[in-house]
A and B are shown apart, each in its own frame.
Chain A
Amino acid sequence: MTRRCRAMVVISVLSLAVPAAAQVPPLAPAERYGTPIGSAGFPPPGASSCSGCHPASVSVDTSAGRLIGRNSSDIVTAVQAFRSGQRPATVMDRIAKGFTDDEIKAIADWYGAQK
C-alpha cells in the first residue's frame, strides 16, 4: 500500500466512522497546522465583496464587468472617477466612496494579478 493510499484510509476513518468519537485524534494546536499562509493568496480588505459582482474566477459566465487580469491602474482610475462623480455609475459611485485610495489600489492590484 502506498503512502497515499494509506492516507486515504485514514481519511475514510476520520470522516466516516463518525459515531466512534474516540477514534478521532485529539484536536491539534494551531502550531501543528503547518506553515502559515502568506498574504499573497488573500484578497485585500473589500476585494472578496467586490467579487459578489465582478467574478474572481475566469470560468464564471456573467455580464458584470470583468476585472480579472485587467491593468491595475485602469481599475484605480475608473473607481476614482466613479467616486468623484466624473464617470456615471449605478452603484459604483456609492461603493467607491467606501474605500480609500490605498484600499482601491490594493484591490485593483489583486484583481490585476488574478488569472
Chain B
Amino acid sequence: MTPVHINSNKMLVDKSLRQLGRYTLFLKRAFSAPDKWSIFGKRTIKEISLLGVDSIPLVIIISLFIGAVITIQMKLNTTSPLIPAYSVGLATRDIVLLEFSNSILCLILAGKVGSSIASEIGTMRVTEQIDALDIMGVNSTNYLVLPKIVAFVLFMPVLVIFCIGTSFVGGWLVAAFTDLISVSKYLYGLQALFQEWYVWYGLIKSVVFAFIIASVASFFGYNVKGGALEVGKASTNAVVSSSILILLFDVVLTKLLLQ
C-alpha cells in the first residue's frame, strides 16, 4: 500500500472511532432517567402507534407476497422425486423463521421507520425545536429518543409474529389456489421437524435490529447541521448505516445463537 492509502485508511478508522464514541455518548444521554415518567409513558405509547402499529399494513403486504413467492420457488426448485412434497412447507417455514421475518423484515423497516425517525428528529434540529427543549432544561436526547427506541424494541416482536403468520398465509394461498402443492402437504410441512428455538432466535435478532434501527436513525437525525438538504442526507445515511449494521449483526448473532 502507498503512504496515501495508509493515510486515508487511518483517517477512515479515526473517523469511524470518533463516530462510535459520539454514538455511545448519545446513547448514554438517551438512557438516563426521564424527567417525568408519566410523559415518557405517554410518548412511548404514541411512538408504538406511529412506528409499530402504522407499519403493520406494510408488513402484511410484503409478508403475504414473499411467503407466496418462497413457496412457489421451493416447489419449482425441488423437483427430485426423492424429496418429499411436504418439504416445500418445511423449507418455507424455516426460511421465514430464520431469515425473512427478522433480518429481511428489519432491512425493509430500516427504510420506512429509520428514515421517518431521522427526518423527524432532523427537522426538529434544523427548526431549533431541539434547542428550545434544551433551553427549557429538558434532556432532549432522552425526551425524543428513548421513547422511540423503547417503543420500537417492544413492538418489533409483534411485527415479527405478524410477518411469520402472513407469510404462512401467503404460502397457504399458493397451495389452495394452484396445483403446485396440496394444502394438506403444505400444512404438514409447516409443522414437520419444528424447532421452537428458531422462533426465539428470530425474535432475539429482531429486537437487536429494532434497537439498531431506532438508535442509529435517531443519532443521525439528532446530529444534523444545516437545512432541509442535510435532513435528507441524514435520512439516507441512517438507512444505509443501520442496514449495514443489521447485516453485520445478523452474521454475529447467527454464529452465536445457532452454533
Are A and B bound to each other? no
- Residues of A bordering B, CB below 8 Å: none
